[in-house]
Structure 1
Amino acid sequence: MPSSIFAPDTARPTFCRLVGRATFATLIGALALPHDAPAAEAPLTLARARQLAIERNRALAAQDYAASALRDMAVAAGQLPDPVLKLGVDNLPLSGGDRFSLGGDFMTMRRVGVTQEITRADKRRLRAGRFEREAEKSLAEKGAAAAAIERDTALAWLERYYAQAMATAIAEQGAQAALEIQAAEGAYRGGRGSRSDLLAARGALVLIEDRASDAKRRVRAANTMLARWIGPAADLPLADETGTGTIHLDRTALDTELAHHPQVAVLAKREEVALAEAQLARANKTADWSVELAYQQRGPGYANMISFGVSIPLQWDQKNRQDRELSARLATVEQARAEREEALRAHVAETRAMIDEWDNGHERIGRYRREALPLARERTAAALAAYRGGRAGLADVLAARRGEVEVRIQALQLEADMARLWAQLNFLLPDEGLRARPAATMNGSVR
């Protein structure tokens, strides 16, 4: 747990340190995780948890399957349409002596033929390219999903880490309260204390026990959420190092960096798909021809025949059909481009605000470490010294102790909030991009 928050109290009396060991161990055991992790297992680091979540998640495999399916569709779309086999009988008599005869009348013919639509190569290329762009969009969606999984896993890991830290702080507070009850009982029996001091100490312990119960629930809930991402590995003990002291974003180049934001990348691929559809609509303004070849067999006394022909669609109303379709596709391209640009602006503004909040939070954490926590410890030490000298009551010591613990818990809560903000900032971009970028220190300068 963070040593800056849980620094030892040098003013604690010797008898408190001796008597409090058993009580402290008991409370820590009560706040432990519901599942005991094997002692031989290495602690679970944040990086390992993210890796496990990526390996375990099935949504990423689903995106791979989708991309594979679209690439197969691209290959199919690049081929000529299947030829059409035609079978039939022409000019079959319905009356007279040759009624229903296949060879009696010279006009009756049994026909077999084949028709082939000749789709131009550039149009087939555009059809294949559209599916390729769809496949690329699916992979971009996979990148966005992977970044979200890493972020949510990091948030779950940090939630459990700080829930356990909070539980430890409350357990230490409970140990102190138990020791203060023993001191109050000794003082009361020796005639140096009052019954009200004893009741106050017992009342403080009851409140701490209630707080400890809630802390235990938070630890279990955090462990459940972590298990949702990494499975049974969530029962492992966590490593002590969070690595949340730096962010990997350069605030002077957010417009450039966030152009690679997974959600922006998905919108960019959507724009490419819309552009491919517009190019295909433009190509459709030139109709595809079909060719047909048929062999016709007549009766024994007549010559067989062969026929061939060409079919050409007549686009007689292009301004209301093909031109309208092209106009709609071009409008869709502009819509996709506008959505991408607006999403980028929103992400840049949101990220700037988050970085400012992160800087301010670490400034406050430094103030807690330099000033608030030392002052709270000094106040507790002064109250203890006055109590031992008979110049203050136990209530003053209890108030000082509660104040010190509250300051420590507030500092810990602030650290937890900044850690969550760190996770949101550090996983805005894909991990591969982060490794190639310099890390920024707490004040935003680039190392």
Structure 2
Amino acid sequence: MPFVFHLAGAALLSAGLFGGALAQAPTHLSPLTLDLALREAETRSQALVAQDAASRSAQDSAVAAGRLPDPTLRLSLDNLPIEGKNAFSVAAEAMTMRSVGFAQTFVSAEKRLTRSARLERESDAALALRVLRLSELRQQTALAWFDQHYQQQMLDLLNQQREETSLQIEAAETAYRSGRGMQTDVWAAQSSVARLDDRIVEARTRVANARSILARWVGTLADAPLGDAPSLARTRYTNEAPAHQLERHPDLGVLSSRQALAQAEADNARQDKGADWSASLMFSQRGPAYANMVSVGVSIPLQWDQKNRQDRELSARLAKVEQIRAERDEMARAHLAQTQTWLASWQSNLTRLTHYDKTLIVLARERTQAALAAYRGGKLPLTSVLEARRMEIDTQVERLRIEMQTAALWTSLEFLLPDGNSAVIPPPLQTTAQEYAQ
């Protein structure tokens, strides 16, 4: 589900009761600000640990790939008789030999450099994926923090309205007992409180669920009261040169690293068109009456069908590079369109919030006050006051819903690109060609 609609959907959908009641957050804990939640989530994340380990693994493998293969030691007893009078004698037969030999496969320095470079690109790909995981972690943590923040505001708003409506019950009962009011007013006020109680139960459940989701990222800190929300009026991402800024998008960074890795694999395939050859040396000892022997051998693979093997493999690797390049270009266009949509919606919502604060909520509040004054003057029934108050609550709830949408849009934009620290990718191993050639 897109980030933009995550929080808004949480405000509109009900969930199962969470144990029937909401545990209140301890007041002795320090406020959990958004920045603190982000730092705690990053500290607790095992996904980042996994990508760091993957990067170290690839770097260590890159060093190993730059070395020559291990030599092979061969010990053998050849042509041992098993029948006749010389059975199992190691010195009676001229053909029986005790041999010790060594074999070494020689891989060119260029091929070893290419193989090592491929693993370095794999390390870079792990680091690029780490940046993506960190960006996703920050977005999810911020969404969970804002969800908890606004669900609590929703609950506080409903509780406040219930207290005010309860006073209307007392006023209606007093008026009814004194003969100045009708019993229907009492029932109307009680019905209004009952509806609010139902909404409060639902709101408490949403608060409990939001706290559970936030605890997935920050652990026990989710029990702390939340700090003040950051300003939604500005983000690190601006609409100035968005295409240039999106070059740092983590998704594009992952595809760029995959493209570099695919290019390194193509370079490996090109180097594999040159065969690796092996040399061996063996000393063979025979019986005292016979001369000892030395054997020297060279093995060279015969790439007799290079057109359909090595050339095909290289062509496949180059096609993979082109595939990833095209996927990256397509993703860049999609992200640009999506980000421009987010920007437009975010700016529109800021305008709407201002309109609600300056006009709609003010008018709804004034309507409630006017209805209340008319009721006290005997000009309107209590139901008109309750209806005006319900409209005021709905207006405030709608304003909260828009602010939740705005917070989701702000989160998508604020954490769209990595910050300076997370964008830094350590350089590849600085192993020289001389070291690989050893």
TM-score class, shorter: 0.7 to 0.9
Counterparts in 2 of 1:402 and 1:325: CA distance versus 1, 3 Å: same
Whether contact under 8 Å (1:86, 1:112) holds in the other structure is yes
- Paired residue total: 405
Identity of aligned residues (%): 47
Q: Which has the higher contact order (CA 8 A, sep 6+)?
A: 2
1:34 alignment counterpart: 23
Aligned to 1:11: none
Match of residue 266 from structure 2: 278
TM-score by length of 2: 0.88
The match for 2:226 among 233, 238, 262 is 238
- SS class of match (2:420): helix
Are the aligned partners of 1:248 and 1:434 in contact in 2 as well (CA < 8 Å)?
no
Structure 2 gaps of 5+ residues are: 1-19, 425-438
Could you tell me how far apart the structure 1 residues matched to 2:23 and 2:111 are? 63
TM-score of the two chains, using structure 1 as the length reference: 0.86
Distance 1:371 1:433 in 2: 43
Tell me which amino acid in the other structure corresponds to 2:383: A
TM superposition shift of 1:170: 0.4
In 2, Cα distance between equivalents of 1:77 and 1:433? 30
- Partners of 1:92 and 1:388 lie apart in 2 by 120
Separation in 2 of the partners of 1:143 and 1:63? 9
User: How far is 1:177 from its partner?
Assistant: 0.9
Q: d(CA) in 1 for partners of 2:356 and 2:307?
A: 71
Q: What is the rounded CA distance, in whole Å, between the counterparts of 2:262 and 2:321 in structure 1?
A: 5
Aligned to 2:428: none
How many Å separate the matches in 2 of 1:412 and 1:356? 19
Secondary structure of 2:392 counterpart: helix
Give the whole-Å Cα distance in 2 for the aligned partners of 1:145 and 1:277: 25
The residue aligned with 2:326 is 338
Cα distance, 1:433 vs. partner? Answer: 7.0
**Which residue pairs with 1:120 in the alignment?**
108
Contact 2:237–2:416 at 8 Å: present in 1 too? Answer: no
Secondary structure of 2:307's counterpart equals: helix
C-alpha contact 2:131 2:423 (8 A) present in aligned 1: no
Q: Deviations over 1:12-59 (max 9, x none)?
A: xxxxxxxxxxxxxxxxxxx995144142x3211000001001001111
Q: CA deviation at 1:250?
A: 2.4
The question of 1:156 aligning with 2:144 is answered yes
Contact 2:72–2:103 (CA<8 Å) still a contact in 1? yes
Superposition RMSD on alpha carbons, in Å?
A: 2.0
Q: Deviations over 1:135-178 (max 9, x none)?
A: 11111111111111111111111001000100111011101110
CA contact (8 A) 1:147 1:431 kept: no
Counterpart residue identity of residue 287, structure 1:
A
Secondary structure of the 1:306 match is strand
Amino acid at match of 2:271: A
Alpha-carbon distance in 2 for matches of 1:160, 1:101? 86
Correspondent of 1:420 among 408, 414, 437: 408
AA at the equivalent of 2:270? R
CA distance in 1, matches of 2:78, 2:422: 72
| Counterpart position of 2:420 | 432
Kindly provide the CA deviation profile for residues 237-280 of structure 1, in whole angstroms up to 9, marking residues without a partner as x.
Answer: 11123332212212232222122111211111111111111000
Which of 246, 250, 255 is equivalent to 1:262? 250
Q: What displacement does 1:95 show?
A: 6.6
Shift of 1:431: 3.0
Match of 2:40 in 1: 52
In structure 2, the CA distance between the partners of 1:236 and 1:32, relative to structure 1 (3 Å rule), is farther
Matches within 5 A, 1:242-391: 242-391=230-379
1:404 correspondence with 2:396: no
Matched, 1:189 2:177: yes
Give ranges in structure 1 of 5+ residues lacking alignment.
1-30, 437-447
**Letter of the 2:389 counterpart:** R
